[in-house]
Amino acid sequence: MSSPTGNIYDRDPSEDVIQQLKSIATKLRMDSIKCTNAAKSGHPTSCASCADILAVLFWHTMKHNPEDPRNPNNDRFILSKGHAAPILYSVQVELGHVKEEELENLRKIDSDLEGHPTPRLDFVDVATGSLGQGLSCAAGMAYGAKYIDKASLRVFCVMGDGESAEGSVWEAMHFASHYKLNNLIACIDVNRLGQSEPTSIGHDMDTYKRRCEAFGWKTFVVDGHDVRSLVQVFFDARQSEDKPVMILAKTFKGKGLPGIENELEWHGKALGDKADKILQALNETTKGAKPVTLVPERPAKAELEVITPTKVALSDKPEYEIGKLMATRQAYGTALVKLATVYPRIIALDCDVKNSTFSENLKKVYPQRFIECFIAEQNAVGVAIGLGTRHRFIPFLSTFAAFFSRGYDQIRMGAISQANVKFVGSHVGVSIGEDGPSQMALEDIAMFRAIPNCTVFYPSDAVSTERACELAANVEGMCFIRTGRPANPVIYKGDETFEVGKAKVIRQSETDVVTVIGGGVTLHEAIKAAEQLAGKGVNIRVVDLFTIKPLDADTIVKHAKMTKGRVVTVEDHYPEGGLGDAVASVLAQYPDIVMKKLAVKQLPRSGPPQALVDMYEIGAKSIVAAVEGDWANTIGQK
Amino acid sequence: MSSPTGNIYDRDPSEDVIQQLKSIATKLRMDSIKCTNAAKSGHPTSCASCADILAVLFWHTMKHNPEDPRNPNNDRFILSKGHAAPILYSVQVELGHVKEEELENLRKIDSDLEGHPTPRLDFVDVATGSLGQGLSCAAGMAYGAKYIDKASLRVFCVMGDGESAEGSVWEAMHFASHYKLNNLIACIDVNRLGQSEPTSIGHDMDTYKRRCEAFGWKTFVVDGHDVRSLVQVFFDARQSEDKPVMILAKTFKGKGLPGIENELEWHGKALGDKADKILQALNETTKGAKPVTLVPERPAKAELEVITPTKVALSDKPEYEIGKLMATRQAYGTALVKLATVYPRIIALDCDVKNSTFSENLKKVYPQRFIECFIAEQNAVGVAIGLGTRHRFIPFLSTFAAFFSRGYDQIRMGAISQANVKFVGSHVGVSIGEDGPSQMALEDIAMFRAIPNCTVFYPSDAVSTERACELAANVEGMCFIRTGRPANPVIYKGDETFEVGKAKVIRQSETDVVTVIGGGVTLHEAIKAAEQLAGKGVNIRVVDLFTIKPLDADTIVKHAKMTKGRVVTVEDHYPEGGLGDAVASVLAQYPDIVMKKLAVKQLPRSGPPQALVDMYEIGAKSIVAAVEGDWANTIGQK
């Protein structure tokens, strides 16, 4: 093979190269049809529209080693339109990385070729399938590669047109141009048809172009089925010097599938008994074509090494006087710097509240390792997920905990991506005070508990917060650390050891009649209650869970039994899905243990923090009442 | 007062009118400074930047009766930058609707003048404070006014520049131009400064303009402190014939506050001891000004009546043969049409999955009452919240339940807005099958349970689904209805009655040894398990909760006690925050009742629905094992 310039990977390769790319695209369409037909479900028409794009990207534009898809020097690829998974799998078959017969197992329970791509597959970095998320992850990878790893790799992201209605896409567009991510190349497969009707913009390529340009991207419109044009435009895209690049590819859904191309009713359907005839027709088009000998160009340079996770420890142990008032959010800022000092791959991200979450501490010391994501939480989560891929970075993303609800779909998908992001949410509960309910996280524990494999830390003082951060940096997977706004007394000595899933008994005597379990502000209220009750000759045990997930069921049950089978939980959170529900879920398995749950039972309002804590019955007075009150009656029901 | 055209509300009012507007703006700045100083917190500088805008809007542009803020013919106003609440309160003081002395109570626990606006105040339709949400709500109001109510009112939305980074804003921009909402007028107060640093776009008005125009809006750039220009540009905005209008107002944070204007460090801070001098300086500027006599223009026509909620009933009772296979999502489509037939203010919204959720049934019969929101769930939630204000419409918003996670912050804020939206989430749990985890809602119950005042329905057959929809239409507030993908047998007769918070015992005998509680697919698995166990001479009770919130604690406890204190919960949901946690939260209060929870304990994968139900141990086999297995041991711990 040769090209006018002598290099097959150049802007104007020979006709032979173009013919081979066309043959590959046809093969990808055929593979996609066959495997979705075998599965009796899937999205073959969404595959057909991007077949030419993927052929050009994987065999001509991208520099990668298909035998070693996790090689850190490879260009990256994200299929944001995850429902086109079959064509990505077909690409891997044609590249020789996945066995052809495995395609027959698409969507089967024992195959990793799932309905939408997940990192169970070594050629997938992030899971997709909830639309509009891929670009943020790609932007995170591109940011890390350009600014921190200082590598020359490119990140490619193929999106659907329907998903460009998602606001998260425009958050990512803004982020990428703001940070001049010229190593990020996205392509929208504008096939005009959504699931249930045509997209709102259809084939109006000008509108797409104006929007992308207005958001600061170098933008090309191209016929997404013209292989030579695609080769050229992607070649040009690689030359961008300070802007991310958007390729708007005008395509047809079901392209090349006679009777199906450009028809509405074929979203998410296998072709069934129409398949044979269509496969025949596709096969016809490759007749006489030379066999494919084209292979992808390998990365020019081996710039990056594989990162192996290593243990990360605080540079200095926590140093606080017992009883000193210190907000856990402030201890987070301290811990972040201590960890970053030891491990250069600790990165902090924030959403324009860094002076409230204290992530600005890191920015002050290591400005290159802080990423301001502005007020765009969805994208921030996606960027963090992207940064965390392949162990390249350990991203700590902070904002007000309430605003993680903005990125909950991204967090949900992060679990499927096996993401390694540490979420740090401050300003939780009514104890934030006057700003009122819009700023109060009261459902954050419920949110993060329901994420599989997510570790939920709820440290209650500065020492345990620093240790929570240290443990989180070492946990493989997603973590949530709940920090608070008010300053509360330090409880632990600096050398206290903490473990994931291990609670601490912070106050006990042999005559304790109830175990009280709190977290953050309410743990301090429990301590106050214990002191008040002790004055009346009633002793209670106080437990600090430290981690809410995994939960230390053994400690809870053991101490519940030692305190007459009585437990009170108290939390600055709504009653559903939080600390109380976590404990109830354990205690419901045991007879002879009864539990009362104190939580914020109404929509709260603005007011002074302590007044709100008392008003919503999660303060010392309410704990005392729960311990003293009708307990005799409850136990009496036995 | 007179103007060149003789009408003070015209485009070119007299200098006297302009002077009065300026005096009002100064007064608003002073009020905002005073009340935040009294509260010792708040955002006076964010108020100062939009003082001129609000003066012009409330006293010149908007047609409204300030004595009757809920009058349906008033123009609507949303302060999307909710942290500028003090200036909105100041407006109401200067309009004479709120007493001046009430401003002193800003942010106090017994005042409705909270840190951010909520509809506890009669001049607030939707709560704001989580940024980037107001425009979607405004678009919902504008859509309803234009297309359904066919009223001439306008909807105004004042936004911050920082919040324009939120993707939800661009979803709303796209929605509004797609639907030609020329009755929607937004204004971005471009004051250049965020909380922790300058915004990413700063005062680059051209970039804002290009973006807004590319998104299809008629766009004006204006000096946001030039009152005459503001009067003119808002006047022109009202004349738009087919496009929504964006006013980009270049402003300065802290405008008019000497020493503070345009300085970064003053976000979210009361002025403290600087206040007196600044108030003096502001007061100086009004010296010699004539007293304000200007009052807002009233709405020209009384087109709309106040809507009083009325009882809504299905047009026909559910008609299904017992045992017939029918997906609950399909029954939703049927119910929607039955309700809409009876009550013309039932509206359905969907996010391009209407052929999967069955909301398309409504579109087929009443196309004017269906709103396609495309793949932009955040905006869809906001639009629905806007539609539901003032009881004008009862919006039912459907999508895959997993994708409500995309709008969780909007849903959270919906509770604070006292929104009246009915969320209907289909495709829940592993029982959706081959599409895989990205499409499976497994945290949706946790999400919606944690929303205060949200009713959570989990109907398990077609009859109860229709009744859930009917009840939801009559509940004042937010509801979630969890529907499923697979077809399951009809359980109930058409005349069965259902109530919110009342469970159904669907199988019982005098010798039952365990109560099994399921929902949706798992209720049918419980019935299968009961049949299998009965074959072995073991009887179990089967309970259908119907609503998970409020929970029918009495029925659960009563039957648990009648079945040897043994309960098994089984759910197609993660173990945290779902049906099992809801039940555990009740049972943990009782000794002598023990509970086992079956739930999806791992991140699932693609596969056939029944195979996944079995694999993740929520099927009949696992229920049988839970009933038969180690129960003796557990009880033995007593």
Amino acid in position B312? V
Domain architecture of chain A: domains with CATH: 18-284 (3.40.50.970), 325-489 (3.40.50.970), 504-634 (3.40.50.920)
Q: Sort out which chain A residues have CB atoms less than 8 A from B127's CB and list them.
A: 437-438
Nearest-angstrom CA–CA distance, A375 and A353: 9
> For the residues A601-614, what does the mean pLDDT come to?
98
Contact B578 A450 (CB under 8 A): yes
> For the residues B323-340, what does the mean pLDDT come to?
98
Peptide bond into B550 cis (omega under 30): yes
Helix (H, G, I), strand (E, B) or coil at B40: coil
Q: Sort out which chain B residues have CB atoms less than 8 A from A581's CB and list them.
A: 576-577, 581-582, 584-585
Query: From residue B380, how far is each of A604, B182, B185, B335, B349 by CA, in Å?
Result: 26, 19, 19, 21, 7
Tokens of B90: 């100041």
- Our CA-based measurement puts residue A624 at a distance from the nearest CA of chain B, in whole angstroms, of 18
Distance from chain centroid for Cα B2: 44
Q: ipTM value of the model?
A: 0.97
pLDDT in tens, A147-173: 999 999 999 999 999 999 999 999 999
CB A47 within 8 A of CB A84: yes
| Per-residue model confidence (pLDDT) at position B630 | 73
Q: What is the DSSP string of B548-597?
A: EES--HHHHHHHHHHTTTEEEEE-SS-SSSSHHHHHHHHHTTSTT-EEEE
**Banded model confidence at residue B629, pLDDT cuts 50, 70, 90:** confident
- Our CA-based measurement puts residue B371 at a distance from the nearest CA of chain A, in whole angstroms, of 12
Q: Closest Cα to residue B128, out of B99, B152, B160?
A: B160
Nearest-angstrom CA–CA distance, A253 and A263: 7
Residues of chain A with pLDDT > 70, as a percent, come to 98
**Banded model confidence at residue B4, pLDDT cuts 50, 70, 90:** low
Count of helix runs (H) and strand runs (E) in chain B: 22, 19
- Of the residues A163, A360, A377, A466, which is catalytic? A377
Residue to test with chain B: of A606, A612, A633, A638, most B Cβ within 10 A: A606
**Lowest-pLDDT range of A4-8, A337-341, A356-360, B322-326:** A4-8
Residue A346, pLDDT above cutoff 80: yes
> For the residues A227-256, what does the mean pLDDT come to?
98
Contact B406 A195 (CB under 8 A): no
> For the residues B468-480, what does the mean pLDDT come to?
98
Q: Which pTM does this prediction carry?
A: 0.97
> For the residues A478-487, what does the mean pLDDT come to?
97
Burial B221-249 (b: 16+ CB within 10 A, else e): bbebbbbbbbbbbbbebbebeebbbbbbb
Tokens of B511: 């010798």
Q: Sort out which chain B residues have CB atoms less than 8 A from A575's CB and list them.
A: 585
Is the backbone of residue B501 left (phi > 0), alpha (psi -120 to 50) or beta? left
Which residues sit opposite B372 in a β-bridge? Answer: B350
Residue A120, pLDDT above cutoff 50: yes
Q: Sort out which chain A residues have CB atoms less than 8 A from B615's CB and list them.
A: 109
Q: Closest Cα to residue B582, out of A574, A440, A151?
A: A574
- Our CA-based measurement puts residue B411 at a distance from the nearest CA of chain A, in whole angstroms, of 9
Nearest to B178 among A200, A585, A596 (CB): A200
| Per-residue model confidence (pLDDT) at position B24 | 98
Nearest chain A residue (CA) to B411: A405
> For the residues B624-631, what does the mean pLDDT come to?
88
pLDDT in tens, B7-37: 899 999 999 999 999 999 999 999 999 999 9
Nearest to B576 among A439, A449, A575 (CB): A449
Nearest chain A residue (CA) to B196: A352
Other CB atoms within 10 Å distance of the CB of residue A18: 19
Told to judge if A377 belongs to the known catalytic residues of this protein, a careful annotator would answer yes
